[in-house]
């Protein structure tokens, strides 16, 4: 499944690694990025923590917006990221 509406859209995504940790990134083609992660051509975090599975994504209108949202999510606690993934907006707001 291709996760891109057009060439200008960007996505922020969270992947869960084999050890249960979360990795947050951005891409215009999430499917290709996850494949890259899983073939050990991705980030150092992924190489250290094992293969990934996409657990959440959000479309952004442009690269600056995607980078800003990625940076925001990377600062969150694991609990807050889990709330986002689960769609638990009450816990997300209170975390």
- Judged by DSSP in three states, 5 sits in coil
Query: Quick check: 50 and 19 in contact, CB under 8 A?
Result: yes
Distances (CA, A) of 20 to 60, 66, 76: 26, 24, 16
Q: What's the pLDDT tens digit per position in 18-75?
A: 999 999 999 999 999 999 888 877 778 887 888 789 999 999 999 999 999 999 999 9
Query: In which region does residue 54 sit, left (phi positive, over 0), alpha (psi from -120 to 50) or beta (all else)?
Result: beta
CATH of 10-94, one of 3.90.1150.10, 3.40.50.2000, 3.40.1440.10, 3.40.50.300: 3.40.1440.10
As given in the structure block, the two tokens for residue 52 are: 């990934």
SS3 9: coil
pLDDT of residue 1: 38
């Amino acid at each position: 499944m291709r996760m891109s509406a057009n060439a200008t859209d960007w996505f922020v995504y969270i992947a869960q690694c084999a050890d249960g940790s979360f990795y947050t990134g951005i891409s215009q083609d999430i499917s290709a990025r996850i494949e890259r992660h899983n073939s050990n051509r991705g980030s150092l975090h992924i190489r250290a923590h094992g293969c990934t599975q996409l657990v959440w994504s959000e479309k952004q209108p442009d690269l600056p917006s995607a980078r800003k949202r990625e940076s925001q999510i990377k600062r969150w606690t694991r609990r807050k990221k889990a709330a986002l993934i689960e769609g638990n907006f009450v816990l997300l707001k209170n975390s």
